[in-house]
Amino acid sequence: MSKPIVFVSDLGLRDEFVGVCDAVMARIAPASRVIHLSHGVPPMDIVAGALMLAQALPFSPDDAVALGIVDPGVGSARKPIAVETGSGRLLVGPDNGLLSLAWQALGGARTAVQITSDAVLLTPISPVFHGRDVFAPAAAHVANGLPMARLGPPVDVETLVAIRIREPVVDRRRIETEVLDIDRFGNVRLSVRPEQLAAAGFEPQEALELATTGGGARARRIATYGDVKVGEVGVLVDAWGWIAVIRYEASAAELLGARAGDPVWIVPAV
Amino acid sequence: MSKPIVFVSDLGLRDEFVGVCDAVMARIAPASRVIHLSHGVPPMDIVAGALMLAQALPFSPDDAVALGIVDPGVGSARKPIAVETGSGRLLVGPDNGLLSLAWQALGGARTAVQITSDAVLLTPISPVFHGRDVFAPAAAHVANGLPMARLGPPVDVETLVAIRIREPVVDRRRIETEVLDIDRFGNVRLSVRPEQLAAAGFEPQEALELATTGGGARARRIATYGDVKVGEVGVLVDAWGWIAVIRYEASAAELLGARAGDPVWIVPAV
Amino acid sequence: MSKPIVFVSDLGLRDEFVGVCDAVMARIAPASRVIHLSHGVPPMDIVAGALMLAQALPFSPDDAVALGIVDPGVGSARKPIAVETGSGRLLVGPDNGLLSLAWQALGGARTAVQITSDAVLLTPISPVFHGRDVFAPAAAHVANGLPMARLGPPVDVETLVAIRIREPVVDRRRIETEVLDIDRFGNVRLSVRPEQLAAAGFEPQEALELATTGGGARARRIATYGDVKVGEVGVLVDAWGWIAVIRYEASAAELLGARAGDPVWIVPAV
């Protein structure tokens, strides 16, 4: 039976890029269901795409093949790869770190291959759109049951590009962290988890001061969006377990003057 | 056999919210087709989402389960519910009125349950994303054939939150109505139907004066978009039977200075 | 067996237009897979939609039915049609040229019918939304195996509206062409192919001067996005074989002051 495919990219939905990849997969694996995780990853933001994949795969069908296309190096020397994780998941995408958070969360990269087989690639391969000519066909073929080893020669998993989410610096009542990303409501996700706030000695209900290079705010600990009041800044645990900063029908990102990657310091509110 | 699922939300397509709900449903009900009605409901606009569901369900497969996620009260006391309508449709979403226009159009709310079953919920439930942990799994389970009663205890349908579209005030050659919504072309949909224009004594071809607090316009009655001329304002019956105001390749909303919920007065053109 | 449907439109994803078409198709052809090629065609841009369809169909399943909805003349005298191409493809859409580049690329229009059958149309037909009431049902019925002839009476294929992409004027070391379209990154696609650059006597590695009425730029020939340097303008062959102008993380369209349809002159760089 055909496996489903979980597809994440920065290709956007305005142009036909995603649709053509979908068409290619429907041609090769007509019975494979495609789950469009998101195509709104900020252009070329490998970390954001990697994070989405790693977080969403546990919620996906166990046999789902992951297809990731955030590929600033398309047409360059970076390898197109498929990876099997320790838990048996198959991941397809460029060797630029995009798949690495997923395999770190799923038992590590057990084996990997470089996608080179003429039976898989659509030729002539456009040097500007490997999504259509390399990654979508590879994902569809393995979803269809082709053994991963038939995509191309093995790659030493130790040589694969891997990224890491920067851990916060946790001191006594002071944390230095950074903005992980910002969603379409302007909510600011920080690279810090509630356990780390506790480890720094903050009480569960204690108000926090958030300082950025562009601004700052006093924030109250809340449980859900509805708890924040007009004019107030709230801090909650988001759906993926990260600390997020929100406002009542307003953009926390704007208030903090913060963008992805910017440093944020958390200290006690005065 | 698995039932299809008609999914409407205000979650947007930029982030991974919709994709993760899709993944969850594919995991539980791999053979259920998901029809993405729209995820562009204005954030927290329950009325707009309710209207979309009510209008689109008659065009959907008869056995389709409706899944609605416009949920400003996520994590608060509002109940997650499933409702069976008089016509036998199953609706899943928050008890905030989102499903109510659909059940009003489909034979009323016959029975309802609160979604509480541990066999359905994904735990730990995030207080900020019941879409993933409560609503998507519930919709997928009933699409898969689980009897609605197995989702949780019954809820008295008389206690469910219901909304109503505000009826226009129809006088002799004068109607007071409001803006229902505005589409991406700036076309303005009014909460009034052609029968009500007739009831107010307007002739079918008669030009109308539209007055708002922010502007106004003289509008000609037309049948379709192509009938409007450069610089002109037209009034037509839209695809759902509402009176809509349009312009030639321009925004009627901008001209009228009107937003959803704003009052509009219709009088004879002079 | 049900055929897949490749769907392209200018309906956008914010409103429920696309979702309702999808619902209608799921109702008629529950086993047909719908491939959403793009719904981000610029509003009423028939040429852009026609180009997307023509380019993407060869990458789609061989039996896929094409459904195109870019229909500024909805509700007017223009015919709703279905066309069978010389290669056996079925195309459904308005008779305004939208399907014509696809049939030109696929063996010509062999036969055509006007969609009029009461067994296919959803009545009452809204004069403003033939997508839902005419095109989606027609596409779903033929995907389901209904012979095209059952949609309505034959139409002489010689009378169908056809468009052509304007060919560039190729002189000795000078090409006059135009902007075909601009993608969401601001990359500018020109209506010229690498063979025509060669025919004009430009060397493969030769820098080019691009002149528009709104600006201009010196551009280097490159192979892929990663080859362009900060501050530089590059010219490459895009995924569909067109010459495209790009910049390093910046909008080439803005630099050139160019929009779709604008003239561009290509001469040797000085």
pLDDT in tens, B30-42: 999 999 999 999 9
Q: Do B27 and A223 lie within an 8 Å CB cutoff? A: no
- Asked if omega into B124 is within 30° of 0 (cis), the reply is yes
The answer to whether C266 and C222 are in contact (CB under 8 A) is no
Compute the distance between CA of residue B6 and CA of residue C131 in angstroms, rounded to an integer.
Answer: 18
**Residue A76 — very low, low, confident or very high, per pLDDT cuts 50/70/90?**
confident
Task: Say if strands A5-9 and A34-38 run parallel, antiparallel, or are unpaired.
Answer: parallel
Q: Do A226 and B24 lie within an 8 Å CB cutoff? A: no
Mutate which of B3, B35, B237 to test chain C, going by most C C-beta atoms within 10 A? B35
Strands of the C5-9 sheet, one edge to the other: C34-38, C5-9, C65-69, C90-94, C80-85, C109-114, C154-155
Which of C8, C61, C226 minimises the CB distance to A74? Answer: C226
**Residue C60 — very low, low, confident or very high, per pLDDT cuts 50/70/90?**
very high
The verdict on A37 touching B (C-beta cutoff 8 Å) is yes
pLDDT of A13-68, one tens digit each?
999 999 999 999 999 999 999 999 999 999 889 999 999 999 999 999 999 999 99
Task: Give pLDDT, residue A270.
Answer: 82
SS3 of A190, please? strand
Q: What residues pair up with B66 in beta bridges, in sequence order?
A: B6, B91
Q: With contacts defined as CB-CB under 8 Å, which chain B residues touch C20?
A: 37, 56, 59
Q: With contacts defined as CB-CB under 8 Å, which chain B residues touch C123?
A: none
A25, closest residue in chain C (CA to CA):
C60
Among residues B177, B247, B171, B183, the alpha carbon closest in space to that of B211 is found at: B177
The verdict on C156 touching B (C-beta cutoff 8 Å) is no
> A94 to chain B nearest CA, in Å?
20
Predicted structure pTM score: 0.95
pLDDT of A217-250, one tens digit each?
999 999 999 899 999 999 999 999 999 999 998 9
Q: With contacts defined as CB-CB under 8 Å, which chain A residues touch B20?
A: 37, 56, 59
* C-alpha distances out from residue B241 to A151, B166, B179, B193, Å: 54, 16, 14, 6
Find the mean pLDDT for residues B106-132. 97
Q: Subunits touching A (CB < 8 Å, at least 3 pairs)?
A: B, C
Give the number of other CB atoms < 10 A from CB of residue A40: 22
User: Which segments within B117-185 are labelled E, that is strand?
Assistant: 154-155, 169-171, 174-182
Which residue would you say has higher pLDDT here, B185 or A206? A206
Sorted by sequence, the CB contacts under 8 Å of residue A158 that are 6+ apart come out as none
Find the mean pLDDT for residues B111-128. 97
Q: Do A16 and C61 lie within an 8 Å CB cutoff? A: no
Question: Does A185 have pLDDT greater than 90?
Answer: no
**Residue C184 — very low, low, confident or very high, per pLDDT cuts 50/70/90?**
confident
Sorted by sequence, the CB contacts under 8 Å of residue B260 that are 6+ apart come out as B42, B45, B48, B179, B180, B181, B182
* Touching C: A residues 40-69, CB under 8 Å: 43-44
Find the mean pLDDT for residues C230-250. 95
Among residues C111, C108, C79, C84, the alpha carbon closest in space to that of C95 is found at: C79
Task: Give pLDDT, residue C75.
Answer: 86
Q: Subunits touching B (CB < 8 Å, at least 3 pairs)?
A: A, C
- In chain B, the percentage of residues whose pLDDT exceeds 70 is 100
Question: Does C22 have pLDDT greater than 90?
Answer: yes
The answer to whether C24 and B55 are in contact (CB under 8 A) is no
Q: Do B56 and C126 lie within an 8 Å CB cutoff? A: no
Q: With contacts defined as CB-CB under 8 Å, which chain A residues touch B74?
A: 224-226
Question: Does B1 have pLDDT greater than 80?
Answer: no
**Residue C234 — very low, low, confident or very high, per pLDDT cuts 50/70/90?**
very high
Question: Does B120 have pLDDT greater than 80?
Answer: yes
The verdict on B73 touching A (C-beta cutoff 8 Å) is yes
Q: With contacts defined as CB-CB under 8 Å, which chain C residues touch A44?
A: 249
pLDDT of B205-222, one tens digit each?
999 999 999 889 999 999
Question: Does C82 have pLDDT greater than 90?
Answer: yes
> C160 to chain A nearest CA, in Å?
26
> B199 to chain A nearest CA, in Å?
40
pLDDT of C113-152, one tens digit each?
999 999 999 999 999 999 999 999 999 999 999 999 999 9
Q: Which two tokens stand for residue A87?
A: 């838990």
Find the mean pLDDT for residues C197-213. 96
Task: Give pLDDT, residue C38.
Answer: 97
The verdict on A2 touching B (C-beta cutoff 8 Å) is no
Which of C13, C30, C76 minimises the CB distance to B226? Answer: C76
Among residues A94, A73, A43, the alpha carbon closest in space to that of C223 is found at: A73
Question: Does C63 have pLDDT greater than 80?
Answer: yes
Which of C8, C59, C237 minimises the CB distance to A132? Answer: C59
Q: Do A23 and C64 lie within an 8 Å CB cutoff? A: yes
Q: Do C59 and A22 lie within an 8 Å CB cutoff? A: no
Q: Do B15 and A56 lie within an 8 Å CB cutoff? A: no
Find the mean pLDDT for residues C59-70. 98
Q: Which two tokens stand for residue A90?
A: 């198959």
Question: Does A1 have pLDDT greater than 90?
Answer: no
Question: Does A75 have pLDDT greater than 90?
Answer: no
Find the mean pLDDT for residues C159-181. 95
Task: Give pLDDT, residue C14.
Answer: 92
DSSP character at residue C149: G
Task: Give pLDDT, residue C1.
Answer: 76
What are the φ and ψ backbone dihedral angles of B172, each rounded to 5 degrees? -70, 110
The verdict on C130 touching B (C-beta cutoff 8 Å) is no
